[in-house]
Amino acid sequence: MKIRDDLLKAKDVIRKPAKSRPYSEEVDQVVLQLKSLDEKIEEIKSFLMSKKESPVKLKRKKEIIFILKKNGKITASELSRTLRISRSRSNEYLKELERQGIAEGFAVGKEKFYRVKE
């Protein structure tokens, strides 16, 4: 892996005795390698940020949509029991589907139900 190699090079430069090379050259090399590592870290961050949803999350959303279509309507509590996840997690999924325009929430008394948006 390229990043690991760069880290090892930086360690080697730091560990070498100061007598073997001029101080300014040693410091310059370390600074260049650290800048290179920083750029690579930023690339990795941007890649991770570009990944919108994990495969697990997509699978879970498909399951929820299937359940909504099958049942017609469902509360976050009912969904959490069906999928064996926490109520707050099921609520997060339902609200996200609502924000994406896939599901819609409506209140019946004190309970909030969700259904597939038509």
- Domains in the chain: boundaries: 2-50, 55-116
Chain-centre distance for alpha carbon 59: 15
Residue 37 CA to residue 7 CA, distance in Å, equals: 8
How does pLDDT run across 48-104, given as a tens digit for each residue? 666 567 788 889 999 999 999 999 999 999 999 999 999 999 999 999 899 989 999
| Greater pLDDT, 13 or 113 | 113
> Rounded mean pLDDT of 29-52?
75
Strands (E), 14-110: 74-75, 103-108
pLDDT at 115: 95
Residue 33 CA to residue 5 CA, distance in Å, equals: 11
Residue 82 CA to residue 114 CA, distance in Å, equals: 14
| Greater pLDDT, 87 or 41 | 87
CATH classification code of 55-116: 1.10.10.10
Question: Across the chain, what does the average pLDDT equal?
Answer: 83
pLDDT at 79: 96
pTM score, whole prediction: 0.56
Enumerate helices (H) and strands (E) in the chain, giving the number of each. Answer: 5, 3
